[in-house]
Chain A
């Protein structure tokens, strides 16, 4: 069963705008990870945030984690066409097995 649920399912933005997507989960976690998947390719790891961390940055990416609300958000700033992809959150809960959500599909329009 999916532990993480992303919202929205799809997002369309103009190049240069920011994109925000959210992930909610059900049970306590050890860490939460975000991945990107370009069409026809495998997943690429973006950021791992541990349960005792609240915010993490990597380049134009900002991830927040609120364990009291069991939710996380991924912000992509100043989006580019190359950011067009599906984004997945994955939670690491029991026995260190990752559980993936269904993803948010982001389209960046030129």
Chain B
């Protein structure tokens, strides 16, 4: 039982390049989330998908786009990477939004030069 799987685990990009981070969950969860974690700042919500077919902005959506490909998969795209997007990105899922524990992947460490 893999839980939440993120690919890739590490990536280095040059400023202006594009990149898609992949996330898949095998727990039949309805809701999925993308966060970024920066030193000393905790996790900040980028986008979330309450259920298949819906996506909504979180706290820091600028510079990102998302696609809820199906119930299992939720991808995050950086169209034109900037150094300020250097971070660790976490995908999470929960059975439903609200009042539910979230299950996290192990993150993608992204550096933008």
Contacts and interface: CB of A to CB of B under 8 A. Distances in A.
Interface of A: 1-2, 4, 30-31, 33, 40-45, 48, 50, 88, 90, 92, 96-103
Contact of A42 (B41, B45, B101, B106): B106
A98 B92 CA distance: 11
Contact of B98 (A1, A2, A30, A100): A30
On chain B, which size bracket covers the interface? 20 to 34
Contacts of B33: 98
B107 to A, nearest CB: 6
Given A92-B98, A96-B99, A1 B90 contact: no
B105 interface: yes
Contacts of B43: 43, 88, 90, 100
A47 to B, nearest CB: 9
Nearest to B59: A1
Nearest to B45: A97
Contacts of B107: 41-42
Interface of B: 4, 33, 35, 40-45, 48, 58-59, 90, 92, 97-107
Contact of B103 (A4, A45, A48, A98): A45
Given A1-B59, A97-B48, A100-B43, A45 B106 contact: no
A103 B37 CA distance: 11
B25 to A, nearest CB: 12
Contact of B105 (A42, A45, A90): A42
A103 B38 CA distance: 12
Contacts of A48: 99-101
A1 B41 CA distance: 10
Among A1, A44, A97, A99, which residue has the most Cβ atoms of chain B within 10 A? A97
B78 to A, nearest CB: 20
B106 A41 contact: yes
A13 B35 CA distance: 30
Contacts of A45: 101-103
A99 B59 CA distance: 9
